[in-house]
Copies of this chain bind each other. A is one copy, B any other.
Amino acid sequence: MLHSVIETENLSASSFAMASGGESNIRTLQAHEALFYEGDDTANLYEVIEGVVRVYKIFADGRRQVISFAYPGDLIGFGQAETFRFDCDALTRARVRVIPQNSLLRAVRERPELGEKILAIAANQVNSMQDLSIMLCRKSAIERLASFLIYLVRRSPESMASSQVSLPMTRADIADYLGLTIETVSRNFTKLRTMGIIALVGTGAVQVRDMNRLRQLSECEDSIH
């Protein structure tokens, strides 16, 4: 849920890389280094191996929308047309697998059963986006922030045990992802802290002290059909 890159998790996106005959290679990015810009040819797509990568779009009026934070296992650039529709750079030092588009197409051609995998990946991506828009549509600021934190915990392996999550992105990044302002993000971090649900560890990390209440806040539960 809650983001627009593909969480490959059980889908094993890199099987495409495998299928394509090992043509893909690895690229290392320094923090803040760009991976691609809007308008660049979609010759490659990328799978994050390590680190956190930011995908965003800047509009003519200066508004910015952060589309996703891509964690290891996430695929970036899937389903783009001729050129990318957004910018992409690294938040931390990162390593990404570069997967040539044409090798992917060839892979599908040669191994039709991959078509189903593509269907599954597409499905996954579409579901993520639906969840994201439902969140943006229906949730209050604090509910959005709670959802975001839960998503981060789920994506950060190191945090599963310690209940501490690092925030490699700035408040502005979070705000532009959740459709809020930095002030509102900050105020609601404070509110969560005051409620005893989280503790702020410096400015770049959060410790979850009451996962249940955090989950309650985030939940926009499914219907009871």
Across the interface, which residues of B come within 8 angstroms of A59, CB to CB?
138, 220-223
**Partner pick for A220 among B4, B63, B113, B222, CB 8 A cutoff:** B63
Q: For chain A, give the interface size range.
A: 35 or more
A179 near B137 (CB under 8 angstroms)?
yes
Q: How many copies does the complex hold?
A: 2
Which residue in B79, B116, B133, B225 is a CB contact (below 8 Å) of A123?
A: B79
Across the interface, A4 reaches (CB within 8 A) one of B61, B85, B108, B126, namely B126
Are A132 and B134 in contact, with the CB atoms below 8 A?
A: no
- For A179, the closest partner residue in chain B by CB is B137
Asked if A61 meets B136 with Cβ closer than 8 Å, knowing A115-B109, A119-B118, A122-B79, the reply is: no
When each residue 107-143 of chain A gets 1 if its CB lies under 8 Å from chain B and 0 otherwise, what string results?
A: 0111011111011011111110110111011100000
Q: A70 to B202, alpha carbons, bound, how many Å?
A: 48
**Which positions 198-225 of chain A face chain B at CB distance < 8 Å?**
220-225
Which among B39, B119, B136, B179 is the interface contact of A108 at CB below 8 angstroms?
B119
A residues sitting closer than 8 Å to B (CB atoms) are 4, 37-39, 57-61, 63, 65, 67, 78-81, 85, 105, 108-110, 112-116, 118-119, 121-127, 129-130, 132-134, 136-138, 179, 220-225
